Chain A
């Protein structure tokens, strides 16, 4: 099962009513759509506004969030209790 991952990259402000309605029908809060002719046609209609990728899995909201989340950039090398343990051992 493959899915379209659709992201709105430009706004439909000022465009004809029809493209706004297509976007509404696509329901872009729902990021993933299964590949089907009707969805493909809708994407075709607003192809200037959206970015489409094809992917195998439907990611959950958490996983999409995690993709965007930057790395913390640190890790704990030695905690204070470990250091005290080393001092006690000497």
Chain B
């Protein structure tokens, strides 16, 4: 069996060597389109046009790791990387197959509506588990987050949905991390009360007491913010006019 630390070191190495830009593997594979709640604006514009004109590529069609970068593996094993920093520090540490694809929008663009309408919520995915967060929320993760201390500021960069009262942006499966900011501060570590489970076996008087006391990381959501199109353009987003009258914004970091 492989030890857990060996797996971790390999994970960090793979993340480290993944190239930092995603534009090369993002040929409009998924279309994150802006949905809206039923009552207010449903009469203005049918939303189904984007789905019909551009069929989404099925999720199973995402390329596996060995298809996308088969030549790097030999180099990966040779490269050395600090095992302690297993939490990804930036975008380059995340394997390219797991990075979300640049978003595309149907015309007319609804991002200004979403960005202008406060407050926002975000469904952040941590280890593929969803947490619905708004600003100022208190989180008690169901696990102890490694290598973080009280006072650290984290950015959540995987969100499956982002929304305000009337608008929701859905990712398939996640939204590009450059169009929103979700910051979280680690406030400490909590524990549960000691649990004692009595383990018995048949025909034996001996009773074993199994004790457990797990620790959990506490956090506070600092801000949940959707960037306005102006900010995105200032950060280097490019507006691409599609032939089918849909404007496409591709953020570039």
Which residues on A are within 8 Å of B, measured CB to CB? 53, 55-57, 59, 61-63, 65-67, 69-80, 83
Q: Tell which of A57, A72, A73, A83 has the most Cβ of chain B within 10 Å.
A: A73
Which residues on B are within 8 Å of A, measured CB to CB? 2, 6-7, 10-11, 14, 64-67, 70, 73, 87-90, 93-95, 97-98, 124-128, 147-158, 183-184
| A–B pairs, 18, beta carbons within 8 Å | A55-B64, A55-B70, A59-B66, A61-B2, A62-B6, A66-B10, A70-B125, A70-B128, A71-B98, A72-B126, A73-B157, A73-B158, A74-B154, A74-B156, A75-B93, A76-B87, A76-B154, A80-B149
Closest A residue to B9 by beta carbon equals A62
Query: Shortest Cβ distance from A13 into chain B, in angstroms?
Result: 25
Query: Shortest Cβ distance from B115 into chain A, in angstroms?
Result: 21
Closest B residue to A56 by beta carbon equals B70
Question: Which 5 pairs, one residue from A and one from B, show the smallest C-beta to C-beta distance?
Answer: A80-B151, A70-B128, A73-B158, A73-B126, A78-B153
Residues of B within 8 A of A83 (CB): 151, 153
How many Å lie between the Cα of A67 and that of B96 in the bound state? 11
Residues of B within 8 A of A66 (CB): 7, 10-11, 14, 65, 95
Q: Apart from A67-B97, A75-B93, what are 6 other A-B pairs with CB-CB below 8 Å?
A: A66-B14, A70-B125, A73-B126, A73-B127, A76-B152, A79-B153
| Cross-chain contact of A74 among B65, B87, B97 (Cβ < 8 A) | B87
Residues of A within 8 A of B64 (CB): 53, 55, 67
| Cross-chain contact of A62 among B7, B156, B184 (Cβ < 8 A) | B7
Say whether, besides A65-B7, A72-B87, A77-B183, A57 and B155 are in contact (CB < 8 Å).
no
Residues of B within 8 A of A70 (CB): 98, 125, 127-128
Closest B residue to A73 by beta carbon equals B158
Query: Contact: B150 with A74, CB < 8 Å?
Result: no
Residues of B within 8 A of A63 (CB): 10, 14, 65-66, 73
| Cross-chain contact of A75 among B65, B88, B125, B151 (Cβ < 8 A) | B88
Query: Shortest Cβ distance from B66 into chain A, in angstroms?
Result: 5
Residues of A within 8 A of B183 (CB): 77
Closest A residue to B181 by beta carbon equals A77
Say whether, besides A57-B66, A71-B94, A76 and B89 are in contact (CB < 8 Å).
yes
Query: Contact: A78 with B11, CB < 8 Å?
Result: no
Query: Contact: A57 with B70, CB < 8 Å?
Result: yes
